[in-house]
Amino acid sequence: MVWSGIDPVALQLGPLAIHWYGLMYIAGFFATWYLVRLQLKQTGLWETRISHDAYEGLFTTLILGVILGGRIAYVLFYNFDYYIDHPIEAFYIWQGGMSFHGGMVGPLVAGWLYCKKHDLPFLELSDRFFTVAPLGLMFGRIGNFINGELWGRTTDVSWGMVFPHAGPLPRHPSQLYEMALEGLLLFIVLWLLRKKVWPSGARVAIFLCGYAVARIFCENFREPDEQLGFLFGPVTMGMLLSSAMLVAGLAWLAKLDWKTPKN
Binding-site positions:
141
Alpha-carbon dihedral angle through residues 45, 205, 30, 121, given to the nearest 10 degrees:
30
CA dist 177 and 137 (Å) reads 12
Name the 3-class secondary structure at 223.
Answer: coil
Nearest Cα neighbor of 174 from 149, 192, 193 is: 149
Contacts of 200 (CB under 8 A, 6+ apart): 121, 123, 124, 127, 262, 263
Contacts of 106 (CB under 8 A, 6+ apart): 65, 66, 67, 68, 69, 70, 72, 73
Q: Nearest 5°: CA angle at 133, between 9 and 58?
A: 95
